[in-house]
Structure 1
Amino acid sequence: MEQPYQTIQAPASAQLVVERSRFIGHCLEVADEAAAKDFVLQIRAEHAQANHNCYAYRIGNGAHPLEYFNDHGEPSGTAGKPILGAIQRRNLTHVVVVVTRYFGGKKLGVRGLIEAYGQAATEVLNAAGTVTRIPCFDVCLTYGYADHSLILHRLGQVEAQVIESLFGEWVTTRLRIPAAQRERFQKLLAELPVTGVRE
């Protein structure tokens, strides 16, 4: 069963300067790994002149979310891992963070890189804010006019949100229902005078 999860509230960017090196953090909420990779490619294209575009993402809200990081040429474990650490500390998921570095002429050392990438990731996540998402599914029901009030009343039992109702020969109502209520909805559906169901 899909449970509520924490993710970023909005896409964001934030900049940090450490020893003349510029670190620019970017973050985006993503549905899957393909979307995360697309965002990384987009940032790399926008910052093609940068020395490094390091990143991490965390996707999925079960016991074992998909986690991945990449140091993009920085010493192993000094960039992607601290970015992922910033995501993990907030227990965020469905998020990708890319930190772009423009080298400023002074080497930071392993410790300095870990701190700078971790701080850049933390700052962009602060700028993005946090929100709790409730996984949902959409469904369309078709039924007669006389049953409209009864059906909407009963759908309240499964926390259904009406997206829209169209009144033609029949009533067609599009609903959004929390995924955690799917089983209860299926049982309730058997009791309702519905002529059509479409997910």
Structure 2
Amino acid sequence: MAEVKISGEIRKEFGKGAARRIRRDSKVPAVVYGHGGDPVHVTLPGHDLFLALKTPNVLISLNADGFKELVIPKAVQRDPLKGFIEHVDLLLVKRGEKVNVEVPIHTEGELAPGGNLLEHVLNALPVEAEATHIPESVSVSVEGLEAGDSVLAKDIQLPKGTTLGVEEDAVVLQVLAAQAEEPTAEEEAEEAEAAAEAAES
């Protein structure tokens, strides 16, 4: 995974008022923590951060007033209506260090015919990976799966150096049988009429 360089500033003002002023300037308040040190509060450029966070578990090379560290996003708060980033928690990492993250799951292929439904029991797969080699996603083939079939965590092929962060037998995906559709009022009326005609004949 390529590093994304972001330059920010050490944040010295705190509270809701300060946070609002930061956001008015198209910036985002963030906190950096990890490795047993005190949290470091920073302000990051909103547009650069928005672009970076399009990549899950993105590795960020952060430089804030001389504070230079590698970090990955751990929690992102967004405005529930407008969707813009309100706050970010960043975790300190080092090259070669293993970290626990959740990786998006992408499915490939088509289920067996029959209108069955694919349920994502897990929306993301917990894994342990080297901080500088976190996979952007994992792919799972659902080709030909039928109702009752499932995909377990151990069935998913992981990149070299990445291990499962969940039980091997954990269900990741499962195929649910198609539900029979409830008849409409019109269909019920037609059936009743047909039954009445049959009884009269």
| TM-score band, normalised by shorter chain | under 0.3
Higher-RCO chain (CA-CA 8 Å, sequence separation at least 6): 1
TM-score under structure 1 length normalisation: 0.23
Which has the larger helix fraction? 1
TM-score under structure 2 length normalisation: 0.22
